[in-house]
């Protein structure tokens, strides 16, 4: 932990003077410009960036030949990827929150001031239990509103774990499932990437969510099967089986050891989530039946604590906690996006722990050999204070490389039968053509971030312009909530006329309207008028249905019509 200044004014004065003097002395005597950076006195985390890169490359190299490339370990440098104290000072957190170019976002604010401090007055625990779940596909927070304003992401979670470890805390991590939320080839790649990330973070136990089990059996098996000797897969599913319960490919319980303690882990999927799954190769049992079968087997191994991971509604998890009072912790993905400030006690022994949604928070429990305070609870907002992890950056690079290699056709987004037409049935022509007549509207649009939306994702590291979930709102001609291109919509970077979140994303495809107006096709006066009217959008329609397609709560949490609309307000033809 970092040195804390004393509270007494004069002692504080003297201490501050001595501290600065020592720092200056260190700078004066050191040849290394980075040696003045305050880091924890604890030993650093074992997994250096280089090691992890080679590990990632090795793991990914066995994946699909030819189409999906062997991951080449790219050098990832990130000054923030250093193990510092989890209770580190504001100054340190500011360093972590720096942009890659060393600057802060223009609206930089200290995340601790925004979201509050964490682990205040925590002594070193005997073991720290980290609970996560319901990542819902958010392996990183979307940057539309500025990453500093958003919570979540595997990278920050890894930083949290590394910081706890750097402080010498033994950490055991558990995930209550729900790595993805959608279906399709991209989700399979994302699931595999997320599993790789959790393995890198050394998770002790991980279970499935309903959406995970909708993916193809091949992908599930390859992702959850351990390939390393003497390192069992962290996956556990007590009431779900891939193929058959008779010969389970996934363990029905786990024993996780950390800090000299043993944790018996069971994991269930609630009935509501089971009903999300229409996969004949996945079998389910009622959660209570499966727990009743398995719990005695685990209890025979005399674990110190019993944990139930419940990918379920809050009601189902509560009922299980009431029915099986033997569990110390029932961890649920049910409930609200934001976990509560404290765990909820159910019965004499069990604590119900909500982990929230979209990977925005983790819950950490500190366990102590202390009768008065045997446990401390911390809801951890995964905000900009944690910086980025080079290991997770590598996972993102690999994932984006795979998306690039497959291309939209390989992701099944460009079916051989052809792309679906936009609901208005017309083709896209690009904003430049619109601007030839609608010059005033174009002048407004050009000054908005919409006009360089594609370039924004191209400049990211790694670039995201092969990622359909980013493209859907950063180019012209896609279904923003369906994540697929319409016929004549953007397909690749060469199509500069379809760059940006252009006019036609709100007004509809305008190729025929433009051709009719420019006299390139013969239309009747009636059709000419009809085409003009089809492009018209009222403020009410925009407010109710259009802007929110991209400025949704997840990707644009600060969005408010009243403040955003005036910045893009425009009228029809000049």
Interface residues for another protein in 434-493 (CB under 8 A)?
482, 484, 491-492
Cβ neighbours of 377 (radius 10 Å): 15
Show Cβ contacts of residue 337 under 8 Å, excluding neighbours closer than 6 positions.
356, 357, 358, 360
Which CB sits closer to another protein, 282 or 397? 282
Residue with tokens 């404290």, as numbered in its chain: 342
Which CB sits closer to another protein, 223 or 258? 223
Confirm if 507 and 542 have CB atoms less than 8 A apart. no
Q: Shortest approach of another protein to residue 548 CB, angstroms? A: 11
Which CB sits closer to another protein, 234 or 339? 339
Strands 350-354 and 375-381: unpaired
Q: Which stretch binds another protein (CB under 8 A): 13-21, 166-174, 368-376, 427-435?
A: 13-21
Angstrom distance (rounded) from CA 239 to CA 245: 9
Which CB sits closer to another protein, 31 or 371? 31
* Residue of the chain from 78, 222, 271, 326 that contacts another protein (CB under 8 A): 271
Which CB sits closer to another protein, 67 or 443? 67
Which CB sits closer to another protein, 263 or 490? 490
Which CB sits closer to another protein, 54 or 342? 342
* Residue of the chain from 65, 524, 538, 563 that contacts another protein (CB under 8 A): 65
Would you count residue 62 as binding another protein (CB under 8 A)?
no
Q: Shortest approach of another protein to residue 248 CB, angstroms? A: 19
Interface residues for another protein in 399-418 (CB under 8 A)?
407, 409-410, 412, 415-417
- Per-residue x/- track, 543-562, another protein (CB under 8 A): ----------x---x-----
Interface residues for another protein in 344-403 (CB under 8 A)?
none
Tell me the number of residues near another protein by CB under 8 A.
81
Interface residues for another protein in 275-334 (CB under 8 A)?
275-282, 313-315, 334
Q: Annotate 415-438 with three-state secondary structure.
A: CCCCCCCCCCCCCCCCHHHHHHHC
Interface residues for another protein in 194-223 (CB under 8 A)?
210, 213-217
Q: Shortest approach of another protein to residue 205 CB, angstroms? A: 24
Confirm if 556 and 550 have CB atoms less than 8 A apart. yes
Q: Shortest approach of another protein to residue 256 CB, angstroms? A: 28
Q: Shortest approach of another protein to residue 495 CB, angstroms? A: 7
Residue with tokens 């996969």, as numbered in its chain: 279
Cβ neighbours of 296 (radius 10 Å): 9
* Residue of the chain from 168, 248, 420, 463 that contacts another protein (CB under 8 A): 420
Cβ neighbours of 301 (radius 10 Å): 10
Confirm if 445 and 503 have CB atoms less than 8 A apart. yes
Cβ neighbours of 313 (radius 10 Å): 17
Q: Shortest approach of another protein to residue 183 CB, angstroms? A: 5
* Residue of the chain from 11, 16, 43, 48 that contacts another protein (CB under 8 A): 16
* Residue of the chain from 50, 183, 227, 325 that contacts another protein (CB under 8 A): 183
Interface residues for another protein in 490-519 (CB under 8 A)?
491-492, 494-495
Would you count residue 341 as binding another protein (CB under 8 A)?
yes
Minimal CA–CA distance to 454: which of 440, 468, 475, 436?
A: 475
Cβ neighbours of 380 (radius 10 Å): 24
Which CB sits closer to another protein, 300 or 494? 494
Angstrom distance (rounded) from CA 87 to CA 495: 48
Angstrom distance (rounded) from CA 32 to CA 423: 61
Q: What sign results for the dihedral spanned by CA atoms 122, 124, 126, 128?
A: positive
Q: Please provide the DSSP assignment of 211-259 as one string.
A: TGGGS-HHHHHHHHS--STT----BB-SSEEES-SSS-SSBS-EEEEET
Dihedral, 332, 337, 342, 346 alpha carbons, nearest 10: -30
Which CB sits closer to another protein, 276 or 375? 276
Would you count residue 27 as binding another protein (CB under 8 A)?
yes
Q: At 437, list the tokens.
A: 């007549």
Q: Shortest approach of another protein to residue 89 CB, angstroms? A: 6
Angstrom distance (rounded) from CA 410 to CA 185: 8
Q: Shortest approach of another protein to residue 304 CB, angstroms? A: 31
> Is residue 168 classed as helix, strand or coil in its secondary structure?
coil
Which CB sits closer to another protein, 136 or 140? 136
Which CB sits closer to another protein, 202 or 279? 279
Q: Shortest approach of another protein to residue 328 CB, angstroms? A: 23
Which CB sits closer to another protein, 44 or 276? 276
Which CB sits closer to another protein, 25 or 528? 25
Interface residues for another protein in 103-122 (CB under 8 A)?
113-117, 120
Interface residues for another protein in 83-102 (CB under 8 A)?
89-90
Complete edge-to-edge strand list for the sheet that includes strand 127-132: 205-206, 171-175, 127-132, 361-367, 375-381
CA distances 263 to 207, 226, 274, 293, 372, Å, are: 15, 20, 26, 18, 22
Q: What sign results for the dihedral spanned by CA atoms 54, 59, 64, 68?
A: negative
């Amino acid at each position: 932990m970092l040195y804390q200044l004393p509270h007494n004014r004069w002692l504080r004065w003297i201490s501050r003077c001595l501290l600065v003097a020592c720092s200056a002395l260190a700078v004066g005597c050191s040849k290394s410009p980075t040696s003045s950076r305050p880091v924890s006195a604890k030993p650093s985390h074992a997994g250096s960036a280089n090691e992890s890169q080679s590990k990632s490359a090795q793991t990914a190299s066995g994946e699909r030949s030819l189409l999906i490339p062997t991951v080449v370990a790219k050098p990832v440098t990130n000054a923030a990827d250093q193990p510092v104290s989890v209770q580190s000072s504001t100054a340190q957190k500011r360093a972590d929150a720096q942009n890659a170019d060393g600057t802060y976002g223009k609206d930089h604010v200290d995340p601790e001031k925004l979201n509050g401090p964490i682990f205040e007055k925590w002594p070193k625990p005997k073991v720290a239990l980290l609970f996560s779940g319901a990542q819902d596909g958010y392996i990183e927070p979307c940057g539309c509103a500025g990453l500093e304003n958003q919570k979540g992401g595997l990278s920050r979670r890894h930083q949290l774990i590394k910081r706890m470890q750097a402080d010498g805390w033994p950490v055991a991590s558990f995930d209550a499932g729900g790595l993805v939320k959608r279906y399709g080839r991209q989700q399979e790649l994302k699931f595999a990437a997320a599993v790789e990330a959790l393995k890198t973070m050394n998770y002790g136990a991980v279970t499935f969510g309903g959406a995970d089990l909708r993916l193809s059996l091949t992908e599930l098996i390859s992702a959850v099967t351990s390939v390393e000797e003497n390192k069992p897969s962290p996956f556990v599913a007590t009431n779900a089986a891939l193929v058959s319960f008779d010969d389970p490919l996934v363990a029905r319980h786990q024993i996780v050891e950390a800090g000299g303690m043993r944790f018996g882990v069971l994991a269930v999927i609630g009935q509501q989530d089971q009903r999300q799954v229409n996969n004949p190769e996945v079998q389910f049992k009622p959660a209570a039946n499966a727990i009743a079968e398995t719990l005695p087997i685990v209890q025979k191994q005399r674990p110190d604590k019993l944990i139930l991971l419940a990918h379920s509604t809050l009601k189902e998890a509560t009922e299980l906690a009431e029915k099986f009072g033997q569990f110390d912790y029932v961890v649920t993905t049910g409930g609200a996006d934001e976990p509560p400030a404290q765990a909820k006690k159910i019965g004499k022994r069990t604590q119900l722990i909500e982990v929230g949604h979209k990977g925005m928070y983790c819950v950490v429990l500190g366990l102590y050999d202390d009768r008065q305070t045997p446990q401390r609870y911390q809801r951890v907002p995964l905000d900009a204070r944690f910086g980025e992890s080079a290991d997770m950056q590598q996972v993102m690079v690999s994932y984006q490389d795979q998306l690039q290699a497959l291309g939209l056709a390989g992701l099944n987004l460009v079916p051989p039968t052809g792309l679906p037409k936009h609901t208005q049935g017309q083709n896209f022509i690009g904003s430049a053509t619109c601007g030839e007549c609608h010059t005033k509207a174009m002048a407004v649009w050009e000054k908005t971030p919409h006009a360089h939306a594609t370039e924004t994702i191209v400049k990211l590291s790694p670039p995201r312009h092969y990622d359909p979930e980013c493209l859907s709102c950063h180019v012209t001609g896609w279904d923003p909530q369906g994540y697929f291109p319409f016929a004549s919509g953007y397909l690749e970077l060469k199509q500069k006329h379809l760059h940006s979140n252009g006019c036609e994303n709100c007004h509809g495809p305008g190729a025929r309207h433009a051709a009719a107006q420019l006299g390139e096709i013969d239309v009747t006066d009636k059709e000419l008028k009809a085409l003009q009217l089809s492009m018209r959008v009222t403020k009410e329609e925009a407010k109710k249905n259009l802007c929110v397609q991209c400025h949704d709560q997840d990707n644009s949490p600060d969005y408010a019509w009243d403040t955003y609309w005036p910045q893009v307000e425009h009228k029809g033809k000049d």
